[in-house]
Copies of this chain bind each other. A is one copy, B any other.
Amino acid sequence: MGEKLTAVTMKTLANKLGVSITTVSNAYSKPDRLSTDLRDQILATAKELGYCGPSAAGRALRSGKTDVCGFLFHGGVSHAFSDPYSIMLLAGLSEAVEEYGASVLLLRAPAAEEATNQMLQRAAIDALVVGSAERQESGIEQLRQRGVRIVSTAPSADGDWVTINDAKAGRLIGKHLARLGHRQVVVIASGASKGGMESFDYSPDGMDDRLFAGTYESERIRGLWEKMPDARITVAFAGHCIRESGRRAAGQALDVQDRPTAIVALSDTLALGAWDAAQERGLTPGRDLSISGFDDIPDARFLGITTIHQPVTEKGRLIGRLAMDPDYPDRQITLPIELIVRASTGPAPKN
């Protein structure tokens, strides 16, 4: 019966009221450019005809604004949501972005770089939030040229970012462990191992082959190393930043003759896994084995894991502001961190 096959658009309203389309448009986006009377009339007619505001697609095409902020998940498949750190960051981001009347678009990078690029180009976004490694990728650069603002969580000479001093974070952990007498440390990193190696002994030279320079992980390790000159530091790769991967990697590190006295997981999520691995082997964290993490996620507090606190939600908020507001003054922000000592670390056991 009353089924309209044609959508109600600004044109419909304009015709019905005998005004121009522009005026209808202004009624929504520039209220001061027309009389209050007319505006009220237009809005009333809109309600009457069931018109519900400017179409996002039309607006996006003409004005170039989408009111959407992309969030690129690193680390692939379905693991992204398993890391509380990501989720907390996302919560803060979402909150800030919302204040600008915008929303967050989740972009999960497929394994292939080609595919990731495609996905990025296909997304209608005003800004994009990326992690450390990705900001070099060609697709990101293309986006920037298209006018998409890029905000990173890793520092760089130019560009916008919100970060922490990861090297310092590493130093704080290193100093703490050194004082406790640890000399044999296994670091658990999230990345997949390059070249098929299970693990390798760390030295700051020749790292670029194995860990991308400038990654938060490489920074943290370097800081650790600086404060533990006498220790043997072995790096093991977990594969993904999820608890289960941490458990496996830590398990392998513990099932050797000369067991390390401390495990430094490069994120709390991995540290939780290390905790699981210790439990399974009857080792009490803090007594038989020291375990530390980074980021201070809620579960770390619950289990009592020594870690580096950073204001993750606030980080997300700041990132959101940089992303949505081109005029936000501070565009390169380093947030404060703090060593939180809990029961999971203790004096190195004597063999």
Contact = CB atoms under 8 A, between A and B. Distances in A.
Contacts of A103: 105-108, 119, 123
Interface in A79-120: 80-82, 87-88, 90-92, 94-95, 98, 101, 103-108, 110, 117-119
A136 interface: no
A146 B53 contact: no
B106 A104 contact: yes
Interface residues of A, number: 48
A68 interface: yes
Contacts of A78: 91-92, 94-95, 313
A50 interface: yes
Interface stretch (A58-66, A161-169, A193-201, A325-333): A58-66
A126 to B, nearest CB: 11
Nearest to A124: B56
B52 A117 contact: yes
A66 B142 contact: no
A121 interface: yes
Contacts of A90: 81
A105 B104 contact: yes
A145 interface: yes
- Which of A50, A101, A106 gathers the greatest number of chain B CB atoms within 10 Å? A106
B98 A108 contact: yes
A78 B142 CA distance: 33
A122 B91 CA distance: 21
A343 interface: no
A295 interface: no
Interface in A116-142: 117-119, 121-124, 139, 142
A7 interface: yes
Contact of A124 (B87, B106, B124): B124
Nearest to A106: B104
A38 interface: no
The 7 A-B pairs at the shortest CB distance, nearest first, are namely A56-B124, A81-B91, A57-B60, A57-B61, A53-B121, A52-B121, A104-B106
Interface of A: 7, 50, 52-58, 60-61, 64, 66-68, 77-78, 80-82, 87-88, 90-92, 94-95, 98, 101, 103-108, 110, 117-119, 121-124, 139, 142, 145-146, 313
12 contacts: A52-B142, A53-B118, A53-B121, A55-B124, A56-B122, A57-B66, A60-B60, A67-B122, A81-B87, A81-B88, A98-B110, A103-B123
